[in-house]
Amino acid sequence: MKNAHDLVTEAKSCTQEVALKDAEQAIREAAVLIDVREADEFAAGHLAGAILMPRGLLEFKLSAAPMLAARDLKVVLYCKTSGRAALAAQSMQAMGYLNVQSIAGGFDAWVAEGKPVVKPEQPSFE
């Protein structure tokens, strides 16, 4: 019986993962950057320009988004550590998307490298 780790490993074997050092260029060249984490994770901080499509709703949101109808769009995905993004990339490929990449190491690796993120403004009590 397969477990979650097995499914992620399988997904990573048949999808394209972009190395963190190449992620900024991949994002610049992409038509869309999708954060597949949950809404609370996104609200706590995300990559600039990312749109939120939680992994559990991805297929439904893609089907309902006319701007994402073209299957040849260049798409970059990320999540916290890259597991959900790999599963999402695999699912998008099954839906016919031809140019999908996920960011190796995900949001956590991005932050660890000191790369910029959008964070909510904290209230000021001055």
Quickly state the pLDDT bin for 89 (edges 50, 70, 90).
very high
pLDDT (tens digit, 9 = 90+) per residue, 34-60?
Answer: 999 999 999 999 999 999 999 999 999
Question: Above 80 in pLDDT, residue 85?
Answer: yes
Q: What is the pTM of this model?
A: 0.92
At the topology level of CATH, where does 17-112 sit? Oxidized Rhodanese; domain 1 (3.40.250)
Quickly state the pLDDT bin for 118 (edges 50, 70, 90).
very high
Radius of gyration of the chain (CA): 15
Question: Above 90 in pLDDT, residue 120?
Answer: no
| Pairing relationship of beta strands 51-52 and 16-18 according to DSSP bridges | unpaired
Sketch the domain layout of the chain as residue ranges.
17-112
Question: What's the token pair of residue 81?
Answer: 């550590």
HSE of 115, CA atoms in CB hemisphere, 13 A: 19
Task: Report how far residue 81's alpha carbon sits from residue 65's, in angstroms, rounded to the nearest whole number.
Answer: 26
Quickly state the pLDDT bin for 101 (edges 50, 70, 90).
very high
Task: Report how far residue 79's alpha carbon sits from residue 53's, in angstroms, rounded to the nearest whole number.
Answer: 10
